[in-house]
Amino acid sequence: MTPNAVITALAALLAHGAPPGATVHRRPLAPLESDQLPAIIPYFLEMKPKPGQDAENEAREYDATIRIECRASGEPIEEVLWPCFQHVQRTLLTAPPFLDGWALDVEEQGITFDAYERDKAYCAAALDYRLRIAYTIRQDPQGAPLAFLDLCNHSHTGD
C-alpha cells in the first residue's frame, strides 16, 4: 500500500461515522478560517522503514507517524473540538488492525492544541499516532518511491 493509499484509506475510515457536519479532507495547508468546519485532516509527518529489512525481500514494514488535525470554530475550545477528537480517538484506538490489514498496530504519540481569534474563535487539535504498516511489493507493485519517503521524512518541520 503506497503512502497515498494509506492516507486515502484512513480518510475514508475517518469519514465513516464522522460527527454531523464534519468534513474529512486531505488539505492540511488550507487556512483554518477558510476551511469548512468542523474538519478532520489526516496526513503523514514521517515514514521510516523498519531497520534491518532485506532490500530484496518483497515484504516491507514501515513505522509511520500520522497527524490527524481536528479543526473547529467557537468556544469553549474543548467542547467544540470534542466530537471530532472523540471520533478520531475511537476510530484509531479501537480498530486495529485496519486499512484492510495494512496497519498492524497504533500507538498514540501526543496531542497538541491551538486556538486564535480573527472574525471568530478558531481552534484545532493535532493528534499524532505511530502506525506500523506492512505490505508486500507484490501486493503494491508501485511500492513507495524512495524520493517520496525522503520527502515524508524532511518536508514537514512545523505545525
Give 104-139 pLDDT, tens digit per residue: 778 899 999 888 888 888 999 999 999 888 766 555
DSSP letter string over 18-61? PPTT-EE-S-TTS-GGGS-SSEEEEEEEEEEEPTT--TT-SEEE
The C-alpha cell at 94 is 479501537
User: Which DSSP helix (H) or strand (E) runs through 123?
Assistant: strand 121-136
- Most confident residue range from 3-7, 76-80, 107-111, 138-142: 107-111
pTM above 0.85, yes or no: no
Cα 103 from Cα 78, distance rounded (Å): 29
Which residue segments constitute the domains of the chain, with CATH numbers given? 3-50+58-154 (3.30.2000.10)
